[in-house]
Structure formats: structure tokens, C-alpha cells
Structure 1
Amino acid sequence: MKTITIPIIPTNQTFAKVHGPHELHLEAICVFAAIGFFLDGDTYWKDQVVLRPASKHTLDTEGKLLRSEPYFKWHHSPKTMSFDTALEGYMSLFEQIIADQTEGKQIILPLSGGLDSRTQAVALQGRKDCVFAYSYAFENGYAETKIARQVAKICGFEFRDYVVPKGYLWSVIDDLSKINGCYSDFTSPRQMAVVNSLKDKGDVFSLGHWGDVLFDSMGLPKLSKSEQVDVLMGKLLKRGGLELAQTLWELWGLQGHFTDYFRSRITDLLSNIDIEDTNAKLRAFKSMYWAPRWTSVNLAVFEANKAISLPYYDNRMCEFICALPEKYLKGRKLQIAYIKRKAPELAKITWQDQRPFHLYNYHLNRLPYNLPYRALNKIRRTIKMSVGVPYIQRNWELQFLGKPNQAHLLNRMESPRFYDLVPKAIVRQYTHKFYNENALQYAHSINMLLVLSQFYKNQVHGEAY
């Protein structure tokens, strides 16, 4: 026997065997099609699970799960404290965690236009000779790299920017299928386009994932259990995901209705979280089920090249969050105050989510103050589109649109072996809707059908990657 301890927010999935038939878990796959990740411990197979976070698991010599025992449960136990006390606690803990994770190492720091990576830059600014920073933007998309370059320049970091090019996916999709195990779509991990260029840049990636969830509040009033489930379902279901899931549910002859099954699953999982405060409870739900089964899956892209470290995933950070008053988390207050106090020049750089405003004036991002920027931005996009240059906001636009991409996509999905799982007529129906009716509405469906086609051909039929 062996015991495996899983962190509160794990960076990867750990699989184990359970009693049951070795057959596809079709209900779980429908959920995957609807939201883009598997819930709880679900996998593609009925006799396999992913070990739950924040627990110690005992497995037998054949890798079969014998028992599990949680060592941490998310809670909401806010202490009476001033904002300054909360800020001092956050600064001290955050900087200690980063020091512990990166001491004596050359650091690779992805920078974006947001706040999480900027807080990391603040904590690392005294170690400028140890940091290689980089950023990437979509071809013909928003120049996020300009903000990142400004951050790196002020901190004194070596910096390079990259462009996510059109159609890169088809040269890396087999490798990506193996890396993420087909537990995520293939266009969300856009880092796959550039990660090979970073092999000689340092020892460890310092990644800012999940800071935006832990250090913010949904700002919801106290909601009933049913209302909380409604909120979660609205946030979990992808555009077009419910339609695809219902299509597959009926195709596979599953009992009842998908929506009822999905609501029941969310209700049961939410019921296991013993927290009264609505916002804290939903944050815990996302940290227990969303982070491990969605965000963490594609961390494997980084880890396939270098070691990874995530300060916001650290157990100490999770425990710290449980003791903070909710009012100090709302609106990213602590992260903003940290940047202002420790690096005021970084606070003056545009915050991408509030562009063109920064951390001192982002409250002006409303009419009429943001009208000039919005008007100018619209004019620029219109001019580009008039000369045939589309404005790119999402990776699937670069990887799926256009005739060469379409040919690659259809070649991947239109396989007699995949048709055993999803008939040709269904595949053709969704590709037609995507290319001829509404690409935005059906992009998620195409993403999921592509993933399912790769999974079914490679893992069920055992074709080589």
C-alpha cells in the first residue's frame, strides 16, 4: 500500500483505479462537453478517478483506491482585523511563499496586462538578475505585450515578447494531446505556441494562476442554495455547451435529462461545503473543483519543459484566505494596495481589464470618462476590418478559422473510428453551424468535439500520437 497526499489546490491530476466496469463514463463526458472540464473525481472511465484535493489517499499495490481522508476543508472564519493588518499579512505571506518557491533559481515569469503577474513582479523586483520575463499576444489582437514590457522595464527584468500565430495548433496537437491527456480543449493553453522557446531561459516558471479568484469577491448578496446553484450553472456552462451536452446525452440514450443530472451534481458538491457566506462558499467551490480540473490541467504544458511554482496555489495562501473578511477581497483591494505600496510606478501602468486606466484611476472606467477610448478603439478596429484584418480576441479564431485551418480541423475530426462515438451526421452538423452560421456560438462545441475525437482515436483505439 502507499499513501498519496494531494495539496489543497493540486498542480496536476493524480489518477487511481476504483471498482467498476472499464467502460466510458458517458454522463461525465457530457458534463465535460458542457463546461470544458470534468467534475470532482470524474474521468473518461467508470473504473478510474482523479484523487480529490486536500486529502490523504491510500492505494493498494495495483493502484486501486482503498480510502480517502480530508486533512483540510474550506471554511470562512474571518478574523477581526483592519485593512492594514490584512495587507501586511498578505504582503508578508506572499513574498515569503515566492522566496520559498524560487530561492536560488533562475525564474521565468510570464507577464500579462492583469494584476496577478504584476504582484509577482513586485515581489521579485529585488532579484532582477534572476528573472526572465515574457509575454505573448494574439496575431492581430490586443497588444498585451506592451503592458508587460513596461512592467519588466521598471523592474529591470530581461524581457521578450512573442506572437501567438495562426494555425500553430496543428503542428503541436499530438504533443498537446499527450500532455493534457485530452482533459482540456486545445486552444485554451495558448502557451503551447511559445513554451518551446523558453527552454534555456531559467529553472522554474513562477505562475500567477488563481490569484484573481482567491483575491476577489463575486459581490453577491446572501443567496439561497438553489440560487447559488443557478449562479454556478450560469458560470460553468460554456456558450453552446448545454446544447452539445444535450445532443450527446440523447444520442447515447442516457436516462433522464442532462440538465437535471448536471444540476443534481452541482447541488451535491455545493452541499458538501460548510460555509454560510455566499461569496466565500462559491470561491471554495471554484477552488475545489474548477482549479484542479480546469486551470491545473494545462499547467502540464509548462511542467513538460520546466519546474513550476504557483504562489497562489500554496496551502498557506488557501488557509490565509479563509481568515480574511470578505470586504477586503472585493474588487481586488489587497492586490491593488500591495502594488501601490511596494511599487507605485507599476501601479501607474495600464490595467488591461480596465484599459486605458491604471490602479490609481480605474474607478473612472465608466461613461463618460471612458467614451474617448472606446470610440477610438472602435475606429481602429473598423479601419483594420475594412482592409481585411480581423481583430482577434480568442485563440480559436487563429486556429480554426480560414480554409487551411478548416481543412486541418475536419481531417482531425472526420474519422470512421470517432464516428463510433459521435456519428458523422452530428460532427457535420456542428462544423456546418460553426463555419456557416455562428462561429462564436459553436466554437466551444467544435473545441470539445476535437478533443473527444483525439481522445477516442488515441486512447480507445490506441492510435499513436
Structure 2
Amino acid sequence: MKPRIRLVATRDGVRAEGDKEARIGHALGGDPLAEGPPPEGIFAAWTWDGERLLARNDRYGIHPLYYRADAGSLTLSPDPLALLRPGEIAELDHDALAVFIRLGFFLGEDTAFAAIRALAPAATLTWTPDGPEIQSPALPVPGPANLSRTQAVDGFVELFRAAVARRLPAESYILPLSGGRDSRHILLELCRQGAPPRLCVSSAKFPPDPGADARVAAALAERLGLPHRTLAPPRSEFHAERVANPAQGMGTLNGAWTLSLLAFLRRNSALWYDGVGGGELVQNPSIELIRKNPYDVTDLPGLADRLLAAGRTGARVEYLLGPRTRTLWSRERALARLVRELARHADAAFPLGSFFFWNRTRRSIALATFALGDGNAVIHTPYLDHALVDHLASVPHRFLIDGTFHDQALHKAYPEHAGLGFASAVPQRHGPVLVGHRLAYLARLLGHTLHSEPDWWRGHDQVLRRLLAAGRGPGAPQRVSRLQPLALYLLQLESLAAGRTT
């Protein structure tokens, strides 16, 4: 169970329930509760001394920490669902959900629940019976530095080496390894510094993934003379997502495929390395979308509209919305909320890269590691080294927009491995296997509803009926395939908001 504290001001003083002190994650070389800038590392912490609560988090707000400030009370936990009271009818944050159902992640400090907020990056929260006070600096979004391409690449190589050197393992460890760039860079640098893992481990993913991730990772491990193991994904994507959604605080639609991998790491290694931040900061996975939709501060509504159209569900989401939710979670509300967030990144060297880092990375991608992962493990995140992030965030837009920046750094630092490609170059597999997988998902969803969640069929917003109706007409298989995970999420959310467990 994740730590939680609830403070309630009464006539007789403050009643404290739960954990009066908690230190979650790993602060590197400093006290997470000390005054001044946050130390290196990804963490959240609080302490209650009987008169005053003090809570702080890491520089990027990567480690989840949520608070609920009601009249005369404060509740704090890394699990936002722990802030819901048993049997409570919880009000939803409709602006936040209008964005989430289209993009698949929350913005800023939004959550699905109106009363619950994520703690902002590098924040200091204090609470006394007089109420809460939160101090948080503005997002560090530096403008472009005066660098040549060579200087930008060399700076990345050297600062990454320094970041890993600050995080060398003090014990034997297992390294999660994919077929992508981020974990490859971590592995090659650890080996260069004489600290290889005892085992590299990869996890297969759900269809339509072609399996290239594990194959490329195995080839790299073999080159380095390291043992490698590939884990099977969870047997049922539906059941994995049913577990992962609430375990990640209803904060993302991603992460379910990592359950097998994280369970293996929890059993076998007290030290991990994670590549979180590498993609968004260095070689953005959405670079094609960014090229087609350049950031234009004079037309943020137009940009926001295009991002919503290209989001996880795009226009398909309208099939799941009824008369009530079509108003509460309208595209207009999503547009207004997204424009406000995009405006915060206008001065960044790479505005859309900054937007995705502070929102998708922080509020969605990081949850697999820091919500589903082991709170007792030391999890090193070298891409989030402060000096390295400062450098990467100031690399001029023109050096990142071609989508080769990380490749250049890897080839320069480790030329002997330049010939080994990446899993992203292998196309996804479609056809009968994928069709069968999606039909199995739908069958399990319907079966679970019939046997365990009859309220899902009778639900206020008729999500399940609308999902089945989306299976009619041209494009039905692709439409239902995209909508099934969101439909499950909305069914679970409706139960939680009504005070029922899922």
C-alpha cells in the first residue's frame, strides 16, 4: 500500500491519520526536504511535525504526488485514488478529461478528479490549520543556446557520460533493455564505464507490435557478451489494463504491457535504470507530427485543433460520448485547455518538444516506472540529470526537427555499434493475429461486465453500448480497436466517481 497522510483541523487540534513521514523514490546526494533547489533524483517526500506539514518533490515533478485540500483538511499521497473517500460521489474535472480522452494524458497538474491535483514540479507544499501554501517556480523552458550542431551533439555525449558517472551502481543489477535508443545509450555507457549489468531483460508487447524490440535488444546484448532474457507480455491485454489503470491513478492509458517486466524487476533487482525523458528531450517519438504541425504562437488554437485531431483517439472518441459527456467533455473545452498549456512553452527552444516532455513524459510515460514500479527500488534516470536536461532543452529547434539527433550522438560515442538498427524501423504486424487479439479483448470486456460489473452495462453514460454501436459501418475494426482501452478507462472512472471499487 502506498503512503498516505490526512490532516484534519479540529477544535482540539489537528488529527493526523496515516504516515506522518514518507520519502518515496530516490534523491541523489541531498535531502529531499531541505530548503533550496531540489537535489538530483526522482522523488517525493513529506513530514508532519505536529504543527506543520512540509512536502517537496523532484525538479521535474516526475515522481507522482497528489494532494487534496478541503476546508480544514489536507490529504497527500502518490496515489490519487487514495484521496477519494469511501463511498464518496466524486466530482470529475471535465476540462481535464476533455483533453485526456483525445490525447491520452493529462496536462499540467490536472487529474480526472476536480478536488485532486498533482503537485507541480519542484514544489514546496506547506500546510497548517490555516490552510495550504504551495510555492513552485515557473517551468524552466530555456530559449535556444548559441551552439553549432557539433557542439550540441558533443555536449549531449559528455553530459550523458557525467550523468551516468553520478549514478554508477553500488550493487549487481538487471537492466531493462528495449530495441530503442534510450536504454541502448544507458547500457553502452554503463559498459564503457566498467559497470555492465548481470542481465539485460526485455518484454514483448501486445499486438500489433512486431516483436522487434526484444530481437534488437538481444542482438545488442550478444554483441556486448551479456546475458539477455525476453519476458512474455501479460496474457490478457484487457486484464492488464484493468489492473494498470487504477494502479496508475487513472492518469494514463499506457503502461499495461510493462506489468510482467516490472514484476520481474521487483523480484530480482533492487536497482534499475530507466530511460524516461530521453525520447521527448532528444529524438521525439512524435517528430513527424511536430514537423507537420509547427509551433506558431500566433495560431495556438489552430495548432491545438490539429493536435487533438491527431491524438490517441482523434475523432473516433465521439462514438463513446453521449448527450451529457458530449457537452462536458467537448472538443471546445479540450481546445481551450490545450491552448493554455501550449502557451506556457512559447519561449522554449523546441516548444512542442517542451510541451510533450512536461506533459506526456511527466504525467503519463513516467507512471509505468514510478506508479507501477517498486517504491523501494533505487531507480536511476540519467536523462533527467539536471545539467543534461538544461543542455538538451536549449538545443536549437533546427538540430532536433530532422529526428536524427540521438542517432548522431550514439554513432559518435559508440561507432562500433552504429550498424545495429532500431526496432522502430520495423513495421507493425496487422492481419488475423491482430484481429483475434482485439476480439479477445472485447470478449473479455463483455464477460467481465456480465459476471463482475453489471453496473457497467447499465452505466449512466452507456459507454459499453456505444462501443458496440461503433462496431457498425466502414472502418469499424480499427475504430473499435482504438476505442476499447478508452472505453474500459471510462467504465472504471464512472465506478470510482460513484464511490464503487473497480
TM-score range, shorter chain: 0.7 to 0.9
Residues 183-226 of structure 1, C-alpha deviation per residue, up to 9 Å, x if partnerless?
222x6431113332333432222111232221136446965335
Taking the TM superposition and a 5 Å limit, the aligned residue runs for 1:66-81 are 66-70=133-137, 72-79=139-146, 81=147
Q: Which residue of 2 aligns with 1:313?
A: 384
AA in 2 matched with 1:428? R
SS at 2:231 equivalent: strand
CA distance in 1, matches of 2:396, 2:95: 38
SS at 1:148 equivalent: helix
Where do 5+ consecutive residues of structure 2 fail to align? 1-51, 72-88
Taking the TM superposition and a 5 Å limit, the aligned residue runs for 1:281-300 are 281-299=351-369, 300=371
CA distance in 2, matches of 1:313, 1:161: 27
Taking the TM superposition and a 5 Å limit, the aligned residue runs for 1:200-239 are 200-216=267-283, 218-219=290-291, 223-225=295-297, 227-237=299-309, 238-239=311-312
Residues 143-188 of structure 1, C-alpha deviation per residue, up to 9 Å, x if partnerless?
3222111111122322111232542652x55643442122222x64
CA gap of 1:70–1:88, structure 2 versus 1, over 3 A, is same
CA distance in 2, matches of 1:203, 1:29: 36
Taking the TM superposition and a 5 Å limit, the aligned residue runs for 1:19-58 are 23-53=91-121, 55-58=122-125
AA in 2 matched with 1:451? Y
- Contact 2:319–2:470 under 8 Å retained in 1: no
Q: After alignment, is 345-354 or 415-424 more displaced?
A: 415-424
Q: Which residue of 2 aligns with 1:263?
A: 335
AA in 1 matched with 2:211? A
CA gap of 1:3–1:317, structure 2 versus 1, over 3 A, is farther
User: Whose strand fraction is larger, Structure 1's or Structure 2's?
Assistant: 2
Where do 5+ consecutive residues of structure 1 fail to align? 356-373
SS at 2:175 equivalent: strand
SS at 2:232 equivalent: strand
Q: Which residue of 2 aligns with 1:339?
A: 410
SS at 1:292 equivalent: helix
AA in 2 matched with 1:40? G
Residues 364-389 of structure 1, C-alpha deviation per residue, up to 9 Å, x if partnerless?
xxxxxxxxxx9xx9xxx79xx6xxx5
CA gap of 1:152–1:289, structure 2 versus 1, over 3 A, is same
Taking the TM superposition and a 5 Å limit, the aligned residue runs for 1:59-458 are 59-61=126-128, 65-70=132-137, 72-79=139-146, 81-126=147-192, 127=194, 129-138=196-205, 141-144=209-212, 145-164=214-233, 166-167=235-236, 169-170=238-239, 172=240, 175-185=243-253, 188-216=255-283, 218-219=290-291, 223-225=295-297, 227-237=299-309, 238-244=311-317, 248=321, 250-252=323-325, 254=327, 258-275=330-347, 280-299=350-369, 300-303=371-374, 306-355=377-426, 390=433, 392=434, 400-402=438-440, 405-413=441-449, 415-418=453-456, 422-424=460-462, 426-434=463-471, 438-458=476-496
CA distance in 2, matches of 1:11, 1:88: 27
SS at 2:136 equivalent: strand
- Contact 2:145–2:396 under 8 Å retained in 1: yes
CA gap of 1:37–1:245, structure 2 versus 1, over 3 A, is farther
SS at 2:228 equivalent: strand
Q: Which residue of 1 aligns with 2:10?
A: none
- Contact 1:17–1:64 under 8 Å retained in 2: no
CA distance in 1, matches of 2:436, 2:343: 41
- Contact 1:56–1:68 under 8 Å retained in 2: yes
CA distance in 1, matches of 2:233, 2:301: 36
Deviation, 1:138, is: 4.0
User: Whose helix fraction is larger, Structure 1's or Structure 2's?
Assistant: 1
AA in 1 matched with 2:354? A
CA distance in 1, matches of 2:198, 2:396: 34
Deviation, 1:78, is: 1.0
Deviation, 1:17, is: 1.7
Deviation, 1:261, is: 1.3
Deviation, 1:413, is: 4.5
CA distance in 2, matches of 1:341, 1:3: 45
Give TM-score scaled by structure 2 length: 0.73
- Contact 1:180–1:298 under 8 Å retained in 2: yes
Deviation, 1:330, is: 3.6
Deviation, 1:243, is: 4.5
CA distance in 2, matches of 1:224, 1:52: 26
Residues 282-341 of structure 1, C-alpha deviation per residue, up to 9 Å, x if partnerless?
111112222222112222223358432222233332211233233333434442233223
CA gap of 1:272–1:86, structure 2 versus 1, over 3 A, is closer
CA distance in 2, matches of 1:181, 1:345: 43
Give TM-score scaled by structure 1 length: 0.78
CA distance in 2, matches of 1:180, 1:271: 28
CA gap of 1:35–1:173, structure 2 versus 1, over 3 A, is closer
CA distance in 2, matches of 1:72, 1:37: 18
